[in-house]
Chain A
């Protein structure tokens, strides 16, 4: 990711997978048995009913990213793999951070930090507040560091999601063969691009 500094060796892969039970398990099992370390893995649906999309961040110092990609491609349910960190891309991480706000000073500090980052207070209570931040992973981390001295009491992060910039679209016309056989309702969306 941070190509500017060259300090980190994180590599981001985006995979399109068959949206079926057990596919996440197949990918997790592959990483475990090949001894590849996952930094983060997110999975979610796409605009296509039968396709899910995963963003996987790995530390490339520990494994050859081409070998990881080749192994992912071997999985029958993996439709496409792209190393998006090799190209211009947008990546985002979302965090919900619950911080202590039980005195005026901490409340002011939290408000002030949120003004300097793409964060906002989504729940303000007497003792704690929840801050939501959606940003590049490093920015999220910097924000967390600022909250730390105030007192983080609970936190969750989604992990990185990423998308290549521009017109190189990562999409598929995939539909499962059973659907083509007409044994079930054909609810596949057409590719509008």
Chain B
């Protein structure tokens, strides 16, 4: 069958199971946009900025576990994808970005809308391709999807010159196994590794599991639950690991790290064994490495061998797939109760409870924590929540316990403001029957709020919750703690978000009192298509606890107990 490069691309996308892609047309990708008209099975979502396309593809991928696809033209179209690729890279999210390139003969000539996008994207992709021969296109697309979704997933970019999109060749879909000699992720552990890990777990008196994104990506939540219940080991979660273990489980200690629960952080510091599963000892979870969990032996299981011994030296490092390795490990694990250790942990939990803002009298102020808690309550704790970055994100992590895997989508590693709203649109495309909430701050929302037009055009049923404190709240918090309250460049002039929604014909509501939150959820649920709720919250609130950057993990700034004086 004689097909153009663009048609071959579409044929290959179909065979990869792609049903939607997010993009923006332009000169160098137009042949492919033209070919799309022959492939109505793949729905194209017209975004308003290519960054939105990359985050939507990412949100789709995280919600479904399938590869998300973004498409853009050369030059500015391609460079606008970079933040999305970097975000996906840091959080191991499988996306494929397709970009048009100037015709082969023009490459290197500073042609109109030419950018060396394989060069630009090199450090922020798992791999990338510049397709210089139409006969290599089909294999390239197969390899790109294989690389994006396997091993430690990540973004892959395919750059296709315009004349390669136009070129005609005989199309035979390359069947058969993909063999990349330089890319063979290890999945299973060997007996020695398993024996060593099993022995450490059985002998430990104060063990703790650190569960991360890897548990979710490998689909190992059932296996983790078995491991936890058999071994009796409590679990602290990373931000991206939320949902790895149901958070109402008695052995769940909540999130660890900078804004994690004090219980998790104290448990890590006093543990005699860390069992790190699919997490990478990011500086936001370890604090000062020199004093990090000094008295513990350490087991680290991760699909990526380069993560083992990178930040924290470990006693047993296993490069492998979490689901496979935990399954292998389970028969070696003895049933234990760990009464003393759990009693110690319960003391910390009681202290945490006492300091919890929800147990304090806060008067008439509407606090972010209350909004998130009530959203959790009134959505039955079962929504897909997609956050932006900042205080509202940490409050979500603290006050919206997730019971199911992959129900929180958030930019952890890169901390990309502007991620939340477009990622929520992408997530809704992946999970049309789930209730999807974009939980964003007033700062981050304004970075990508142009995508409201996309949501309206596509009638995407996504609920937008803006926690508006008229500040870049997290930066303001750092300024309060570490820069003597010099609030420079953090107070925000904001538009009237409800009028903004009106301009797009989007139903909206402003919430200023706590008792309205329940009503706002009911209202959001009654609307088909996007809906925007603005929660006007306390301007100068603080997310506690906080481990200052680089400080010892146990050296948290705590919220005072009722009756204690504020001492920041």
Contacts and interface: CB of A to CB of B under 8 A. Distances in A.
Given A73-B182, A75-B127, A177-B178, 10 more contacts: A17-B182, A67-B309, A67-B310, A70-B305, A77-B182, A173-B181, A177-B139, A181-B139, A181-B174, A183-B136
A191 interface: no
B118 A22 contact: yes
Contacts of A77: 182
Interface in A138-177: 172-174, 177
29 contacts: A18-B182, A22-B130, A25-B119, A29-B122, A33-B123, A70-B308, A71-B306, A73-B182, A73-B305, A73-B306, A74-B304, A74-B306, A75-B182, A76-B180, A77-B182, A78-B182, A79-B181, A172-B181, A173-B181, A174-B181, A174-B182, A177-B139, A177-B178, A177-B179, A177-B180, A178-B133, A178-B135, A178-B139, A181-B135
Nearest to A15: B182
Interface residues of A, number: 28
Contacts, number: 60
A79 B184 CA distance: 10
Interface of B: 118-119, 122-123, 126-127, 130, 133, 135-136, 139, 143, 147, 172, 174, 178-183, 304-306, 308-310
A184 B180 CA distance: 18
A22 B310 CA distance: 27
Nearest to A177: B139
A73 B181 CA distance: 10
Interface of A: 17-18, 22, 25-26, 29, 33, 64, 66-67, 70-71, 73-80, 172-174, 177-178, 181, 183-184
A113 B342 CA distance: 75
B306 A64 contact: no
A70 B185 CA distance: 11
Contacts of B135: 178, 181, 183-184
A184 B183 CA distance: 23
Q: Which among B174, B182, B305 has the highest number of chain A CB atoms within 10 Å?
A: B182
Nearest to B184: A73
A80 B182 CA distance: 7
A80 B183 CA distance: 10
A25 to B, nearest CB: 7
Contacts of A177: 139, 143, 174, 178-180
B315 to A, nearest CB: 15
The residue among A71, A73, A173, A183 with the most chain B CB atoms within 10 A of its own CB is A183
A101 B179 CA distance: 57
Contacts of B118: 22
Nearest to B138: A181
A144 to B, nearest CB: 36
Nearest to B123: A33
Contacts of B119: 25
B309 A79 contact: no
A109 to B, nearest CB: 48
Given A76-B147, A177-B139, A183-B136, A29 B309 contact: no
B183 A76 contact: yes
Nearest to A184: B135
A64 B314 CA distance: 14
Nearest to B152: A74
B181 A66 contact: no
B126 to A, nearest CB: 8
Contacts of B180: 76, 177
A73 B179 CA distance: 15
Contacts of B310: 67
A22 B139 CA distance: 18
Contacts of A66: 309
Contacts of A80: 181-182
A29 B143 CA distance: 22
Nearest to A28: B122
Contact of A29 (B123, B178, B183): B123
A26 B130 CA distance: 13
B122 A26 contact: yes
Contacts of A29: 122-123
Contacts of B178: 177
Nearest to B140: A178
